[in-house]
Amino acid sequence: MLDLLTERFSKSLSKLRGVRKLTEKQVNDILRDIRMALLEADVDYDVVKSFLKKVRDRAINEDIKNKLSPADSVVLTVYEELTSILGGEKADLKRGVVIFVGLQGTGKTTTIGKLANFLKNQSFKVAVSSTDVRRPAAMLQLQRLAEKVGVPYYSFDEASPVEIATKALERAKKEGVDYLLIDTAGRLHIDEELMEELKRIKEAVKPSEVIYVADAMQGQEALRALKAFHESITLTGVILTKMDGDARGGVALSVKEAIGVPIKFVGVGEKLEDIEIFYPDRIAQRILGLGDLQSLIEKAQQIIPEDEAQVLATRIMMGEFDLEDMLKQIRFIKSMGPLEKILGMIPGVSAELKNLKIDEKKFKKTEAIILSMTKEERRNPKIINMSRKVRIAKGSGTSVGDVNKVLKEYEEMKKMIKRLKGMQGIPKLPRFPF
Ligand code: GDP
C-alpha cells in the first residue's frame, strides 16, 4: 500500500539528513521531487498544486519551529501538510443507519461484510440488509457474508428498495441494533434512476452515514464518480477498497482535498479481516518513512512532563548534567519500550540504525550501579573514591571495573551533551556511548 510514494518521499527527504543549513536550491529540489512523486502516484493535479504551495509558504515564512534544524523543519512541515490533505483527524463512523453506495464491482458488498465483522468485534450490535432488488445474487452474497460474520441479515420478500430500507430500520430499532448497514444497488455507470432511488432511500431512513465505496485502483476515474455521487446525494464518508493492490495511492491523497469528504476506512485485501481504520497521521508517517513519529511525541509527552524536560534541558545546557540526570535519561528511554522500536519512531534515523541491536542488559546494569550510589555521589561524582567504588560494585552486584566504565561513560556523555544546543520541549536524546 502506497509503496511507490513511500519510496520516492523517503529517497527525497533522505537528502536532507545531516544538513545543517538549507539553501533555497535544496528546498526547490525537494519540492520538485515531491511534485513528481505525487503526480506519478496519480494524485489530483489541483491537490498537488495547493499542497506544494502550502509547504513552500511555510518553509519560507515560518523559519520553521526554531527549535528544529532546518532539515527537520522541512520534514515536519511536509508531514503536517500531508496529514492535513489526508483528512487531518481520524473520522469516526456514527452510530445508526449506514447506507453504502457506489458503482458495481468496487467491493461494496465485501466491505459491508468486513465492516459488520469489525464492528461486531468491537462489541456493537450489528445488522445488515440489501436493497439491490434487481440483483438477487448480490443480495445472496451479503446474506452469506452476514452468516459468516454471525450478524442478522434482514430480508423482506417482494418489497421495493425504499420499503426494505424502512422495514429494516423498524426492525433494527426494535432489536436495539447499534449499526444497521444497508447495501444499495450498484450500477456499471452513474444513471439518474439510481440516484433517484438512493435519494428516496435516504429520505426514508435519514441515515447517520452515507458511505461511498470507491476502488482505489481506478485512480482519477474513481474520483470523478465520487464527485458525481456527492453532488447528487451528499456523502458523509468514503471507504477506499483494494488499497493492497494500488501502490500509487493517488485517490487516498486526493479525496478529502478535492471532494471534502473524509476517508473512514480502507480495504486491504479480500478476507473479512482486511479492513483498517484510516488514520491520516499514520498514513503520512508511513509515506514519509518516518516510523511512528506521532506515537513518539505522545509517549515523550506522557513520560517527561514538559517542565521537567525543560529543567533537565536547562541543566544540561548549563553543563550541570550529573549522574541523577543520566539515570533520568536512562529511565526515560527505558520507559519508552525496546530501543530498536524507539529508533524506528525517530525521524531521520536510517534503516541501518533501526536494525541495530542495542544492549538493553547494559542499560539495566548502568541503572543498578547508579542506584547503588548515594544521592551525594550522584550529584557530585568526583567524590567517588576507591572505597566508594567497592561499595557501589557490591551493592549493584557488579565489579569495580563496571563502576569505572559507567563513570567514564558519564564523563563522555557530559562532554557530548555540552555540545548539544537547542534542547527544548521534547528532549533530543543524546546518543548514548553504548
Ligand atoms: P460490489 O459489486 O461493489 O458489491 O463488489 P464485491 O464486494 O462483489 O467485490 C468485487 C471484488 O473485489 C471481489 O472479488 C472482492 O473480493 C474484491 N475486493 C473487495 N475489496 C477488496 C480489497 O480491499 N482488496 C482486494 N484485493 N480485493 C477486494
Q: Are strands 263-267 and 237-241 parallel, antiparallel or unpaired?
A: parallel
Report the pLDDT value the prediction gives residue 177, as an integer from 0 to 100.
96
Ligand 1 atom with least separation from CA of 105? 2
Please name the residue whose Cα sits nearest to atom 6 of ligand 1: 107
Residue with cell 498537488: 48
Total H helices, total E strands in the chain? 20, 8
B/e letters for 219-258, b = 16+ CB within 10 Å, e = fewer, are beebbebbbebbebbebbbbbbbbbeebebbbbbbbbbbb
pLDDT of 427 reads 41
Amino acid at 427: P
Would you call 196 helix, strand, or coil by DSSP?
Answer: helix
Side chain identity at 70, as an amino acid letter?
Answer: P
CA of 241 to the centre of ligand 1 (A): 7
Give the separation between CA 405 and CA 401, rounded to whole angstroms.
Answer: 6
* Ligand 1 atom with least separation from CA of 141: 8
Per-residue pLDDT tens listing for the chain (434 residues): 788 888 888 788 777 766 777 777 888 888 899 899 999 888 999 999 999 998 888 776 655 445 556 666 777 788 889 999 999 988 889 999 999 999 999 999 999 999 999 999 889 999 999 999 988 899 999 999 999 999 999 999 888 999 999 999 999 999 999 999 999 998 777 788 899 999 999 999 999 999 999 999 988 889 999 999 999 999 999 999 998 887 678 899 999 989 999 999 999 899 998 898 998 988 888 787 665 455 444 444 444 455 555 565 556 556 667 888 778 777 766 665 555 555 555 544 445 444 445 566 777 888 899 999 998 999 899 999 999 999 999 999 999 999 999 999 888 777 765 654 444 333 444 433 33
CA of 269 to the centre of ligand 1 (A): 8
Nearest-CA residue for ligand 1 atom 26 is 269
Ligand 1 centre to CA of 105 (Å) is 6
Q: In whole angstroms, give the CA distance from residue 286 to residue 245.
A: 17
**CB of 284 within 8 A of CB of 83?**
yes
Q: Which domains does the chain have, with CATH numbers?
A: 3-85 (1.20.120.140), 96-277 (3.40.50.300), 293-419 (1.10.260.30)
Distance of CA 78 to the CA centre of its chain: 14
Q: What residue ranges line ligand 1, CB within 6 angstroms? A: 104-110, 186, 241-242, 244-245, 267-270, 274
The answer to whether 243 is a known ligand-binding residue is yes
Nearest atom (ligand 1) to Cα of 274: 23
Q: What is the pLDDT of residue 429?
A: 40
Residues 6+ apart with CB under 8 A from 163: 156
417 CA to centre of ligand 1 in angstroms: 55
Q: What pTM was computed for the model?
A: 0.68
Instruction: Tell me, in angstroms, the distance from the centre of ligand 1 to residue 94's CA.
Output: 24
pLDDT at 413: 74
241 is in an annotated binding site: yes
* Closest ligand 1 atom, residue 268 Cα: 23
The pLDDT value given to residue 431 = 38
Cα distance between residue 407 and residue 401, in whole Å? 10
Q: Kindly state the cell numbers that stand for 63.
A: 523559519
